[in-house]
Amino acid sequence: MRLHDLVAESPELERGSLPDGDVSGVTADSRQVTPGAVFVAVPGLTIDGSGFLPDAAARGAVLLVGEGPDPAAGVPYRQVADARWTLAHLAAAWHGYPARRLVMIGVTGTDGKTTTCNLIHSILQAAGLRSGLISTVNAVIGDRVLDTGFHVTTPEALEVQAYLAQMVQAGLTHCVLEATSHGLAQHRVAACDFDLGVVTNITHEHLDYHGTFDAYREAKGRLFAGLSESAPKPQPVPRTAILNRDDESFAALSGRTRVRQVSYGRSADADVQVVEVARMSPGLSFVVVGDGYRQPIESWLRGDFNVSNILAAFAATVEGLRVPANKAAEGIAALRAIPGRMEPIDLGQPFTAMVDFAHTPNALRRALEAARTMTSGRVIAVFGAAGLRDREKRRLMAEVSAQLADLTILTAEDPRTESLDAILAEMAAGAASPGGIEGRTFWRIPDRGQAIRFGAAQARGGDILLACGKGHEQSMCFGETEYAWDDRVAMRAALSDLLGRPGPAMPKLPTQG
* Residue 168: predicted pLDDT: 97
In this structure, what DSSP letter does residue 108 have? E
* Residue 319: predicted pLDDT: 98
Q: Are residues 55 and 111 in the same domain?
A: no
Please name the amino acid found at residue 20: D
If pLDDT is split at 50, 70 and 90, which confidence band does 267 have?
A: very high
% of the chain beyond a pLDDT of 70: 97
Q: Is 111 helix (H, G, I), strand (E, B) or coil?
A: coil
Q: Are residues 241 and 385 in the same domain?
A: no
Of the residues 81, 116, 143, the one at which a domain ends: 81
Global confidence as pTM: 0.86
pLDDT at 45 over 70: no
Q: Is 352 helix (H, G, I), strand (E, B) or coil?
A: strand
* Residue 469: predicted pLDDT: 96
Q: How far apart are CA 117 and CA 494, in angstroms?
A: 31
Please name the amino acid found at residue 34: T
* Residue 276: predicted pLDDT: 87
Q: How far apart are CA 108 and CA 256, in angstroms?
A: 14
Asked whether residue 287 is domain-assigned, the answer is: no
pLDDT at 198 over 70: yes
pLDDT at 485 over 60: yes
* Residue 458: predicted pLDDT: 98
Q: Find the range with the poorest average confidence among 100-109, 197-206, 243-252, 449-458.
A: 197-206
326 class by beta-carbon count within 10 Å (0-12 exposed, 13-18 middle, 19+ buried): middle
CATH number, position 24: 3.40.1390.10
pLDDT at 207 over 70: no
Asked whether residue 473 is domain-assigned, the answer is: yes
CATH number, position 157: 3.40.1190.10
Q: What is the pLDDT of residues 334-387, one digit of tens each?
A: 999 888 999 999 999 999 999 999 999 999 999 999 999 899 999 999 999 999
Torsion, Cα of 213, 214, 216, 221 (10° steps) = 140
Of the residues 43, 58, 81, the one at which a domain ends: 81
CA dihedral sign, ordered 76, 77, 83, 85: negative
* Residue 337: predicted pLDDT: 86
If pLDDT is split at 50, 70 and 90, which confidence band does 221 have?
A: confident
Please name the amino acid found at residue 383: F
Q: Are residues 313 and 423 in the same domain?
A: no
Give the helix, strand, coil percentages of the chain, each rounded to 5.
35, 20, 40
Q: How far apart are CA 422 and CA 110, in angstroms?
A: 26
Q: Are 465 and 475 a contacting pair, CB within 8 Å?
A: no
pLDDT at 13 over 70: yes
Q: Whole-angstrom distance between the N-terminal and C-terminal Cα of the chain?
A: 57
pLDDT at 234 over 90: no
Of the residues 47, 81, 115, the one at which a domain ends: 81
CATH number, position 451: 3.90.190.20
* Residue 190: predicted pLDDT: 93
Shortest CA distance to 66 belongs to which of 80, 47, 48?
Answer: 80
Q: What is the pLDDT of residues 381-404, one digit of tens each?
A: 999 999 998 899 999 999 999 999
Q: Are residues 110 and 230 in the same domain?
A: yes
If pLDDT is split at 50, 70 and 90, which confidence band does 209 have?
A: low
Q: Could you give the C-alpha distances from 202 to 68, 151, 393, in angstroms and in order?
A: 34, 20, 15
* Residue 205: predicted pLDDT: 58
Q: What is the pLDDT of residues 126-174, one digit of tens each?
A: 999 999 999 988 899 999 998 776 555 678 999 999 999 999 999 999 9
Q: Could you give the C-alpha distances from 438 to 142, 151, 335, 399, 468, in angstroms and in order?
A: 50, 31, 40, 13, 20
* Residue 296: predicted pLDDT: 96
Q: Are residues 73 and 205 in the same domain?
A: no
Asked whether residue 319 is domain-assigned, the answer is: yes
Asked whether residue 127 is domain-assigned, the answer is: yes
Counts for the chain of helices (H) and strands (E), in that order: 16, 23
153 class by beta-carbon count within 10 Å (0-12 exposed, 13-18 middle, 19+ buried): middle
Q: Are residues 29 and 148 in the same domain?
A: no
pLDDT at 89 over 70: yes
* Residue 82: predicted pLDDT: 95
Mean model confidence pLDDT for the chain: 93
Domain residues for the domain of 56 are: 3-81
Asked whether residue 462 is domain-assigned, the answer is: yes
* Residue 272: predicted pLDDT: 98
* Residue 304: predicted pLDDT: 86
Q: How far apart are CA 286 and CA 288, in angstroms?
A: 7
pLDDT at 217 over 80: no
Q: Could you give the C-alpha distances from 221 to 250, 253, 459, 485, in angstroms and in order?
A: 11, 6, 43, 34
Q: Specify the length of the chain in residues.
A: 513
Asked whether residue 146 is domain-assigned, the answer is: yes
Q: Are residues 106 and 224 in the same domain?
A: yes
* Residue 508: predicted pLDDT: 96
Q: Look at the chain and report how many structural domains it folds into.
A: 3
Q: Are 124 and 318 a contacting pair, CB within 8 Å?
A: no
Asked whether residue 295 is domain-assigned, the answer is: no
Q: How far apart are CA 66 and CA 43, in angstroms?
A: 9
Q: Can you give 33-97 as a three-state secondary structure string?
A: CCCCEEEECCECCCCEHHHHHHHHHHCCCCEEEECCCCCCCCCCEEECCCHHHHHHHHHHHHCCC
Q: Are 403 and 436 a contacting pair, CB within 8 Å?
A: no
Q: Are residues 216 and 348 in the same domain?
A: no
Mean pLDDT of 20-47: 92
Mean pLDDT of 302-313: 93
Q: Are residues 355 and 401 in the same domain?
A: yes
Q: Are residues 74 and 223 in the same domain?
A: no
Q: What is the pLDDT of residues 168-195, one digit of tens each?
A: 999 999 999 999 888 888 999 999 999 9
In this structure, what DSSP letter does residue 508 have? P
Q: Are residues 364 and 483 in the same domain?
A: yes
Asked whether residue 280 is domain-assigned, the answer is: no
Q: Are residues 15 and 160 in the same domain?
A: no
Q: Are 26 and 91 a contacting pair, CB within 8 Å?
A: yes
